[in-house]
Amino acid sequence: MFSSIAYSSFFLSTILMTLLIYQSKAQLNATFYDTTCPNASSIVRGVIQQALQSDIRIAASLIRLHFHDCFVNGCDASILLDNSANILSEKDAGPNTNSTRGFNVVDNIKTALENSCPGIVSCADILALAAEASVSLQGGPSWSVLLGRRDSLTANQAGANSSIPSPFEGLSNITSKFSAVGLNTNDLVALSGAHTFGRAQCRLFSNRLYNFSGTGNPDPTLNSSYLTTLQQICPQSASGFNVANLDPTTPDTFDNNYFTNLQNNQGLLQSDQELFSTTGAPTISIVDTFSSNQTAFFQSFAQSMINMGNISPLTGSNGEIRSDCKKVNGT
């Protein structure tokens, strides 16, 4: 009798826990602001269109903020928090310092949204909406952004240092970091395709140009003429903060040329080229598919962005809706 009651209690608690997990996912939906801030998406898009007039890089910078946010404690806008008495900012973590940009545009979006519907749209949702608008405005796919995230009350600088994939890492390590947040190999290749636009600083790939893995020679997977071009942009004596196009063919357009570049040994970052040059890797066939079929890439990319946007969101009464994306309310 007791065992059957205990089993029933365990069974019910398991069902309840399952329902809670699914509810947290289900609370994100594309119509979340339809009544409270119906113009949210168009407001975000308008601010980014304006920003693009003077900074063509901003689209790639904004999608990178969403990516670097979601990989650390989930998509909670923790990356936007400045240092304070209680916050050790993720902006100062290795993958972000002197590198992430676009925070001023996020602030402009927040101001515009607060003017239209104060206290409604979270900073975490701003990053998700900005990523979609940035891609579609530069020629890429559109998708229905799932919304309803709330903003974190803290940051995780140590997590940013350990969880964000590095351009210097091997494919197995990067695959593990994606797997740790519930993303698979197809997501990895599709989301890497965001490197079809934007720039990277020389310090993130100069190891490939002169002394790869301590060999004293360039990375053998680098196309020789491309190597020469990159050495001109990034001389050994330079500071490392010069920038090169992630996609040398169509640097500001969101298309599938990134994957063709990999096939031609013209991936800029080590982590890019390894998708195609790692012997026997399951990523190779996906690169081939996306290179030959832009529609397949666009469809996979949109779904993978939705998948990434679903990483551990704060919903319901968790977190808050920040009035200033740079700081926790009341500080």
Give the pLDDT band (50/70/90) at residue 26.
very low
Give pTM, 2 decimals. Answer: 0.92
Give the pLDDT band (50/70/90) at residue 204.
very high
Q: How many CB atoms lie within 10 A of CB 64?
A: 22
Query: Each residue of 212-255: pLDDT tens digit?
Result: 999 999 999 999 999 999 999 999 988 899 999 999 999 999 99
Q: How many CB atoms lie within 10 A of CB 22?
A: 10
Give the pLDDT band (50/70/90) at residue 6.
very low
Q: Mean of the pLDDT values across residues 139-150?
A: 98
**DSSP assignments along 233-280, one per residue:** HS-TTS-S--EEESSSSSTTS-SSHHHHHHHTT--SSHHHHHHHHSTT
C-alpha distances in angstroms, 290 versus 99, 169, 263? 28, 23, 11
Just list the catalytic residues. 68
Q: Is the dihedral of CA 141, 146, 148, 150 positive or negative?
A: negative
Give the pLDDT band (50/70/90) at residue 16.
very low
**pLDDT for the residue numbered 229:** 98
**pLDDT for the residue numbered 176:** 98
